[in-house]
Chains A and B, each alone.
Chain A
Amino acid sequence: QIQLVQSGAEVKKPGASVKVSCKASGYTFTSYDISWVRQAPGQGLEWMGWISAYNGDTNFAQNLQGRVTMTTDTSTSTAYMELTSLRSDDTAVYYCATGATADYWGQGTLITVSS
């Protein structure tokens, strides 16, 4: 069965960077894009962008341009999302998702930004 397993929760200071991993299993990794979605505490869902696991093409939300990087390692079927210059309003649960339209979701990674 298709599974996405994400890295654990982290606490970061404002201005720092964070890199979240998302390890896929149960399907051919390069068959689907990986999308990243975040959810601030008590809030709704916000799409951050996606990366093609096939050729590395990316598409990011405009409000994150310049601060977000998405990469993949096909040898380990793992996707990564790095967010730099963290601010307090980046505190959220970060999800990876795969499939034609976010069919399968990871368990989420809580990133807390606090001084």
Chain B
Amino acid sequence: DIAMTQTPLSSPVTLGQPASISCRSSQSLVHSDGNTYLSWLQQRPGQPPRLLIYKISNRFSGVPDRFSGSGAGTDFTLKISRVEAEDVGVYYCMQATQSPWTFGQGTKVEIK
């Protein structure tokens, strides 16, 4: 199975300041079809997960442009340009390149 490792596991952030989460996979996430199936999910307290970013850097429908994804191969990053109160929650990276799909441990974003 592909292991996904996120850092940090907790990120206290001041409102309006940027936040960054890293995700590293134990092997390349480049699929044989040429795509890299690395997604970022947001889970607000008491809510189901919500897709933010797919295939490394594509924002899903309705996702604010303060969220951006980057990376390649085994190293990926989610950035929030200016954290807002509604961004509080746990963020997960997820790979769907190889079965079984696997998730990072989650990074808790909270307001300082």
Do residues B103 and A47 form an inter-chain contact, with CB atoms below 8 A? yes
Complex contact B96–A45 (CB within 8 A): no
Question: Any chain B CB within 8 A of the CB of A9?
Answer: no
Whether B39 contacts A108 by the Cβ 8 Å rule is no
- Contact status B51-A103, CB under 8 Å: yes
Majority SS of interface residues in chain B?
A: loop
Contact of B51 among A37, A49, A104 (CB under 8 A): A104
When the two chains form their complex, are residues B48 and A45 in contact, meaning their CB atoms are under 8 A apart? no
Q: How far is the CA of A104 from the CA of B52 in the complex (A)?
A: 11
Report if A11 contacts B (CB, 8 A).
no
Nearest-CB distance from B24 to chain A (Å)? 16
User: Can you sample 8 A-B contacts with CB below 8 Å?
Assistant: A44-B104, A44-B105, A59-B99, A62-B100, A102-B39, A102-B94, A103-B60, A105-B48
A47 touches B48 (CB 8 A): no
Contact B37–A101 (Cβ < 8 Å):
yes
Cβ-defined contact, B48 with A61, below 8 A: no
- In whole angstroms, what is the CA distance A44 to B102 when docked? 11
- Given the interface contacts A45-B49, A95-B48, A107-B48, does A102 sit within 8 Å of B96 by beta carbon? yes
Instruction: Report yes or no: A106 in contact with B96, Cβ–Cβ below 8 A.
Output: no
A3 and B100 alpha carbons, distance in the complex (Å)? 24
- Per the bound structure, the CA–CA distance linking A62 and B102 in Å amounts to 13
Closest-by-CB residue of B relative to A100 is B54
Partner of B100, one of A61, A95, A97, A107: A61
